[in-house]
A = this chain, B = another copy of it.
């Protein structure tokens, strides 16, 4: 078993390149509650850092102002538990920049894992990824916003993770809900 609080997992939330409803590649706008919810889930499950990716300078400034309110500003005194979570956030321009950043810390590039809405034979199961996380390698799990990651992100990834199926034929979860369920399946104690 790995040491408590130390997982081999990094998480990224990508705002470019993602798809809009028509399948065009766009840069999406950030959603405040994505930052809070995914940071809190990341803290709960021992994720090493939570990268928020956007190439847009005005969006970076907005993320920075939200994070600094909770990490250094009035929010950090109002709710120290929120500070602990939002401290995990790092703002980057691209997935490539995130991979370089992790390489500098860890010595190696992370293996990348994306979520897929399709059941295909190349997907890895939650159990398989759970076992992989017990090894020595470091992984970067990438979530998309809007209508999901652009094709170029999908094909560049090392692994596709199985989609989440609940108890119905409906699988249209928010990225906030999906990331919570996935991290619990991979790292939760009740397994």
Contacts and interface: CB of A to CB of B under 8 A. Distances in A.
Given A43-B168, A174-B33, A184 B181 contact: yes
A167 B7 contact: yes
Interface string A122-144: 00001100000000000000000
A40 interface: yes
Contacts of A177: 37, 40-41, 176-177, 180
Interface residues of A, number: 45
Contacts of A33: 31, 33, 174, 176
A102 B52 CA distance: 42
A185 interface: yes
A50 interface: no
Give the number of times this chain occurs in the complex, counting copies: 2
A105 interface: no
Nearest to A170: B43
Interface of A: 4-5, 7, 21, 31, 33, 36-37, 40-41, 43-46, 78-79, 81-82, 84-85, 126-127, 164-174, 176-178, 180-181, 183-185, 187-190
Given A43-B170, A45-B167, A164-B188, 19 more contacts: A21-B78, A33-B176, A37-B176, A40-B177, A43-B172, A44-B170, A44-B172, A44-B173, A46-B167, A46-B168, A81-B170, A84-B170, A85-B170, A127-B190, A166-B183, A166-B188, A167-B189, A181-B184, A184-B185
17 contacts: A4-B167, A5-B169, A21-B78, A21-B79, A33-B33, A37-B173, A41-B173, A44-B170, A82-B172, A165-B190, A176-B176, A176-B180, A177-B177, A177-B180, A180-B181, A181-B181, A184-B185
